[in-house]
């Protein structure tokens, strides 16, 4: 699977898994009901979905221009840091406004989410590449399946 269908499926699966983790965590942390927390999780997910599409498009554009297209753990680390770091900057004011908390507390909350999603993103992307193969931007001359390892 390649191109836009790959990006859409990747983003939807990633965000669906994210909502399953974030909604209960927010409900427990802030003493909110699951409905309120799920709605916030869906807002966070919608923002993250848009960021996912934009970031992955830019990352693959950059990746195609690299001398090596191999997706090693260093490149996966760079991908996760870039994605989650950018998302933290975008979502901190959203979380502060929604929960009626300070930007500082929203940043701390967001950093907690960042720690979780940092590892989640690394594992998710590795599994996704194993199941659906790596994108063309990461395929080598030896074959695509070996690029995901």
What pLDDT score was predicted for residue 148? Answer: 45
State yes or no: pLDDT of 149 exceeds 60.
no
Q: What is the mean pLDDT of the chain?
A: 86
What pLDDT score was predicted for residue 40? Answer: 94
What pLDDT score was predicted for residue 141? Answer: 54
pLDDT digit string, tens, across residues 54-90: 998 999 899 889 888 888 889 989 998 899 889 989 9
Domain count across the chain = 1
Structure tokens at 37: 């927390």
Contact present, 37 and 24 (Cβ < 8 Å) = yes
Torsion sign over Cα 125, 9, 86, 89: negative
Burial 23-44 (b: 16+ CB within 10 A, else e): beebbeeeebeeeebbebbeeb
Residue of 40, 23, 21, 42 lying closest to 118 (CA atoms) = 21
Q: In this structure, what are the phi and psi dihedrals at residue 140, rounded to the nearest 5 degrees? A: -105, 175
pLDDT digit string, tens, across residues 75-130: 989 998 899 889 989 999 999 998 888 999 999 999 888 888 888 988 898 888 88
For residue 140, give its domain range: 3-148
What pLDDT score was predicted for residue 143? Answer: 54
Which pTM does this prediction carry? 0.68
- Contacts made by residues 94-97, CB under 8 angstroms, sequence distance 24+: 94/43, 94/44, 94/47, 95/40, 95/44
């Amino acid at each position: 699977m390649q191109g836009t269908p790959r990006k859409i499926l990747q983003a939807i699966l990633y965000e669906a898994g994210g909502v399953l983790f974030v909604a209960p965590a927010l409900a427990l942390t802030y003493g909110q009901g699951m409905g309120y927390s799920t709605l916030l999780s869906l807002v966070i997910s919608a923002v993250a979905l848009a960021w996912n599409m934009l970031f992955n498009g830019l990352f693959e554009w950059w990746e195609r221009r690299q001398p090596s297209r191999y997706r090693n753990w260093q490149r996966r680390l760079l991908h996760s840091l870039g994605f989650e770091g950018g998302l933290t900057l975008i979502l901190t004011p959203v979380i502060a406004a929604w929960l009626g908390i300070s930007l500082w507390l929203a940043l701390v909350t967001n950093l907690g989410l960042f720690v979780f999603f940092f590892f989640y993103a690394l594992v998710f992307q590795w599994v996704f590449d194993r199941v659906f193969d790596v994108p063309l931007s990461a395929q080598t001359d030896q074959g695509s399946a070996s690029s995901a390892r």
